[in-house]
Structure formats: structure tokens, C-alpha cells
Chain A
Amino acid sequence: MSELLQVEDLHVWFDLQDSGELHAVQGVSLSVDPGERLGLVGESGCGKTTTALAIMGLLPPSASVSGRVLLDGKDILDGGEASIRPHRWVDIAIVFQGAMNALNPVRTVGSQIVEALELHGRAEGGQARLRAGELLESVGIPAQRGTRYPHELSGGMRQRAAIAMALSCNPRILIADEPTTALDVMVQAQILELLDGLCRDFGLALLLVTHDLPVVAQLCDQGAVMYAGEIVERGSVDDLYHEPRHPYSRLLFAATPDLDGKRGEVASIPGAPPRLDRPLQGCPFRPRCDRAFAPCAKLRPRLQRVGEHHAAACHLNGVPEVAWT
């Protein structure tokens, strides 16, 4: 098995106290090979961040989880905190959208990285300070700026510092949850270039969680599109854009404005995603789909192979000679 990280049939429920349960993740399976970059794309509430948090074992106590998360083939979910702890930050690390939340506001950036290094027994004292400087340099922050507090850094610099901290134990997989969402386009481009370089230079695998399809198209090799708690299509980013096999993927691309194209010509998808606190019948995308037909109301489609490394959960794929674009 070459997979570094494998998620199998992951489910997450949130207890809503008096009003039942929210089935946020409904059977997600994905895998990330060493050095691979997978983009997990979807709109708010689709379960992409919950999936990322479940992999890291960082869900709140109100969540219950089933399924398997395998690292090098070994389940790191079944033993709870005890089985994930040795791997968190060491093999898998995560950076979040608001870097301010990941950094302690009353400690300098450098000392926080030193602490992370010492806590995981990576280095001590002067050695740790030296290594912290190197880490900051590797994300484009001059080492001497380690003496700054988070609020003294710009949004882009803070995100770089958060990435440096996530890299302190040389993880093999970095999960980046909307890493550029709050940033300006030019700063976004700088951070994407940084992530690209880190993957290339250190063979780091990347799981990029985002609502932004073009960012995935530019940075990732593989993409997985999530809707209503499940992956509805996955494949190479090229397949997803040029040969989508799920109407939601096709419409999502069409709804993303590009610099080219005619005035006003951007698709919108009518309606809203289904509520996940009640059982779903049939295809969850059916009420918003422009291609729905009879079977969609009855049967929930499963993710099925439609090409090499390409799978989609849509009944249309069982119909011969369907024109997709």
C-alpha cells in the first residue's frame, strides 16, 4: 500500500441536544499519497472542515465519529486520543484560516515555535532557537522577526508563522483549511507559492480544504468535491474541470467567475443545500440539479468509478451516451 493517509467511510454526527443529531459527514473516503496534493472543495456546511478536524482528532466532545483514518495503514482513530496523539503535529499538521487563532497573542512568534519544538522533544534551548529561526526563514520570514508578537505581523506574515509552527516537527502531511481566504489576492498568491514550494522541496503531502475551486485547480493534482456531507466527485483537477461527471461540480465551476468570458455570463445554482439534521432521500443534490430524472428521487447515488482515478456519485453515469457538457 502506497497511501500515506487513508480515510474510509468516515461519518460524523453532532449532538444538537434537544433537537436530535446533525449528520455532518456521511461516509467520506479519500486517500493521500506521499507528496500528493488533494483539494477538498465545497461550500459552507458541506462537511469539509469537519472531515479535516476528524482526521486530526480535533472534534469537540459533542461529535461522534465512525469509520477509519489510516496512517501508513494503521488506524489512528480507533483508540481515541491515545492513538492520534503520537501522530498529531508529528506526522499530520494543520493550519487554519485565521492564523491569529493558532498563535498565542501574548507570546512572541519565535518562542511559540521553540515551545512546540521542545514539547515534542525535537530540540532544546539554543538548538531549538536556531531551528525556530530556520523554520521562519523557510516560510519567508527573516529569523530576527521571531521576536515579534503576532499582532505586530501582517495577516500574510501571521499565516506564514502559523505554517512554520505546523512544520516544526517535519510532518509528512499538511492539512490547510482555507489558508488564504481572509487574505488579499497578492498575499494569497504569495502563500500559495509558499505552499507549492514546501510541497515540492520537502515532499510534503497537502490536503487543501477550501471553497475556492480556482485555488485547487492551480495548486492541487487531485480534487474531491463535497456536497451535503459526502464526496460527490473526485478525480484529477483536470478531469473535474474538463470532464465533470457530476452536475454539482460542473455548475460550481460555471458559477465561479473567470477573467474571460461574456458579461453577466456566470451560472448560479438555485435553492440551498439540504438540512443535515434529518434523513435524506434520494440524491441530496436533486432539488437543485438541472439534470435530475426519475431515479434521483428514490435512490441515493454511490460514488462509482467513471474513469481511471475518477469517480462520481450521480445516476446519470449509469445512463449510456449522456452528454455531460
Chain B
Amino acid sequence: MSLNEILQPVTLPAWIVSLPLLAAVFSFVLPRIRVWAGIFTAIITPLMVVFLGREILAHGAIQMQVGGWEAPLGIYLHADGISAAMLGITAVIIGSISFYARSYFSGDVASRYFWPLWMFLWGALNALFLSGDIFNLYVTLELLGLSAVALVALSQTVDALSAAMRYLLVSLTGSLSYLMGVALLYAANGTLSIKLLATAGPASPSIATAFALMAAGLIMKTALFPMHFWLPPAHANAPAPVSAVLSALVVKASFYILMRLWLVIFEPFINPSTAQLIGVLGACAIIWGSVQALVAERLKLLVAYSTVAQIGYLFLVFPLSSIPQTNHTAWQGGFYFVLSHACAKSAAFLAAGTVIYSFGHDRIKDLHGIVRRMPVSMFAFALAGVSLIGLPPSGGFIAKWLYLNAALTGGQWWWCVLIILGSLLATAYVFRFFSRAFSYSPEEIERRPVPWAMEWTALGLALCALILGFIAPAVTTLLDAGNPF
């Protein structure tokens, strides 16, 4: 194979997966270059994703048999508009948080293990978004789960270790359930490729069981109510850069798989009441998560419970897309939620992490007057809040707009009521924190100086959430590229 062949656009998916994995290995074996390996990857990978996106927009979906081995024994990579959007948001978030992490971990022993795991996490996410078959999705899910758990444990506190253990047990159980579904689907249809499964035979008990097992496993991993119990401790106790990525991307990865399988393979077999039931769980998540965020005493816990609530919105996509004429608007709304929540939530977690870094705690009642002390971080938190609430102009607003559109067109008005109620609750928990943060406090509190990279990364990501509100036509065109569904 000549160099020219290796650098063809069709090999881009393989490079996007292997660069972070290589960086992970190098940063582990040669700890002295770990930060630079990470920063290098953080600069190069987004560029490759941009090229991939342009290629998909111009020529449609890209398929690749890695190493020339044919499926099913070889690995089949598939990149369409949705893959490109997910890879893009991953590159933006992990890429920028790498700069935050460089300051956050500087001089910390945890840095030795952070960088390899961080790069493994990125490689796993990229591989997941590019996988074209259900078994590779299992492998990437496991790789993602293991690196995420190890990153949570980096905090080393008792709470973090217990949270990591609980997360690991849930994650492994979820993957096993998913794998059993894979086995059943393979036994029933003799193929692992998502594309071939889409056209596979009639409904049968084994397909129904496979769907139930896969959906249950992925719902556990996405932390949909009532399987959300593991999320708040894990996300609140992890180091700040890790919390940000767990909430922004890792829970979305299993949701992404569920959405692909649901819309491509299982759609004809699912009856509408199942979709409505998932929607009801989403509704419970929105209300329960928001109420818990409203009473949370720590800032990071508030943000983590807000994630539980926002995950509820993601699952509304299933009832909304169950009606053919609103299917398209609904899934675009679902992915818009994924993208805008990813930016907003990572910004919120980074800002909360900066607060802990500087003040040594995040007890909301002791954070009075903090707006004056760290204006940049608090501005980032406020912008993230705007997107979480869904105020225009922000990505969160576009996502809710698409949902409301789908709900009204499809005659499912009850979801509109829920979306509006959810926004009010989000307003309440965001403003509860700000009423404290804006209050006047005369005394000077001793604090650790914050490197500028940390404050500005959070602001950059919050601005991304806002920008998503302005570039909706471009993003929806990208999502449509390569006919994903």
C-alpha cells in the first residue's frame, strides 16, 4: 500500500480512531511527553474531523473495511452525517478540555494516568461513532466504560472510588445485556451489520427479546430515570475535566447507539405504546432531575442532577419520532439536544470545577458574591444556563423548538406541556445558584489563583452552545448528509 493510498479521504475514519489510541499508548509509555501527545492530538483530530465532514457533505457516507478484511470478520467503519456531527462535537469538547486539563492537573500525580486514559476515552468515542456493526459497538462501549470508570477513580477520595465502582458494575451489566441482544440478533439474522439488519426478516420473539435486552442495557448506561442512581455521585466526584466529558459525551454515546438501533433496525417492530412508555420515563427524569438540582447543596451535584433531567429530554425523541410525518423533525431535535447539551454541560462542569479549584469547595450557600471574584467562569455558567433552559438564541432553544414542532404537528400536545414545565424548572435551578452568586459579600475569601486557560475554556464551550443557536441550517444539513435513517 503506497503512501498515497493511505492518505486517501476514505481512510480518514481509521486515522480518527487510531490517532488518539496511539497518543494514549505513547503518553503511557513515555510519560515525559504525555501532555504534548495529548495537546498534539487535541489539535490534529479536529482538523481530520473537519475534512471528514466536508467529504461526507460532498460525496455522502463513507464506508471502510479496515485492513481490507471484509465484514463480518473484519472491522467495518461507516461515517455519515450523524457520525460526523458526533465526532465534531467530541473533537470540540475533548480538544478544548485538554487545554483546561493541562492547567488543572499541572503538578498533580494524577496527571500521569490522566492523559493515557483521556486519550483512550477519545479513541473509544471516535470508534463508537464510526462503527457500522453491532458487535464493534459493544467493544467500543466497553472500552469507553472502562476508561471512564478509571478516570472517575482518579479523584482517589472514598466517595469517588465508591462512585467509580458503582458506575463500573452498572456499566458492565448494561454491556452484558447489550451483548446478549447482539447474540440473539445474530442468531436470528446471521449478520452483525446495522445496514443489513435494517432489511432483515419479519418480527419474531427473538428480535423482540433482543430489542428489550439492548434497550435495557443502553438505558442503564445512559442513566435514564429510574436507572440514574449511579450518575450523580460519579459525575459529581470525578475531577472537573472528567465530569465535563462524562456528562457531555459519555452518556450520549449509549444514547447514540440506542437511537441508531431504534430508528434503523427496530422501528417497524416497536409498537407506539413502548415509545410512549420510554417518553414517560423521560418525563420522570426531567421532573425528578430538576427537583433534585433545585435542592442540591453542592454546585457540581446541581450540574450532575441537571444532566439527569436533560437526559430525559433526549428520550422524548422516541415517542415524538413514532409518528411518520414528525419522524425527521424529532430525530433532528434529538441530535440537536445531544450537541447543545454537550457544549452547555461541559461548560457548566468546567466552571464548577474552576470554583472548586479556586475556593476548595463548591457549597452553594458559601459561594455568595462569587460573580465578582470570577466573572469569566460565572459568565460561562450563565451562558450554559441559557442553553440548558432553552432560551433563544442558543442550541438548547433550537432543540426544544424542533421538539415542540414535532409534538404539535403529530398531535402529541402533552409533550409540549412537559417541555415548558422542564424549562421553568431549569430556570429555577439556574437562578437559585445565581441569586447566591450575585449577592453582596464584603469579606475577602482566601483563594487559589486560577490559570486563564481554565476560565476561558469554559467560556469558549458555553459560546459554542450559543453559536449552535445561530447555525441551525448548517447543522441540520450535516445531520442529513449520507441518509442516516
A and B from one complex: no
